[in-house]
Amino acid sequence: MIRAQTLLKVVDNSGAKLVKCIKVKNKGGKSYANVGDIILVAVQSLRPRYGRRVRLKMNKSEVHHGVVVQTRRLYRNKGGVGLSFGSNSVALISANNKPLGTRISATLPARLRGLKWTKLAAMAKKII
């Protein structure tokens, strides 16, 4: 479960490395987010640039939207199989729900495909 002030890893190549959750959106009063929920994040640290020609899409302390793609908390699917990950991770999206990065370097749960995030699932390295 992701709450405000939680630090999350960024798993896409948008330029951010670490972000902090500011607010959980569209949950109807609930103060936590699970896999597939949209959150508002602030960029805490950036990935290093390898060369001067590399242009970053963001700066430190900018605010972006993100989709929670991995959580450390165990959740069970309808078949009863539990799934948890090693870290809390997020993929950054634009305001109109388009991904900011072009690649995702993490394993994503298949649950994302059923929650309208098929574009993120298609960019992923592996789906469990």
Q: What's phi and psi for 69, nearest 5 deg? A: -115, -20
In a domain, 35, yes or no: yes
In a domain, 124, yes or no: no
When divided into structural domains, the chain yields a total of 1
In a domain, 108, yes or no: no
Mean pLDDT of the chain: 90
What CATH number is given to the structural domain containing 17? 2.40.150.20
What's the rounded Cα separation, in Å, for the pair 12 and 66?
11
* pTM beyond 0.85: yes
Kindly report, residue by residue over 83-125, the tens digit of the pLDDT.
899 999 999 999 999 999 999 999 999 888 888 899 999 999 8
Q: Are strands 38-46 and 16-24 parallel, antiparallel or unpaired?
A: antiparallel
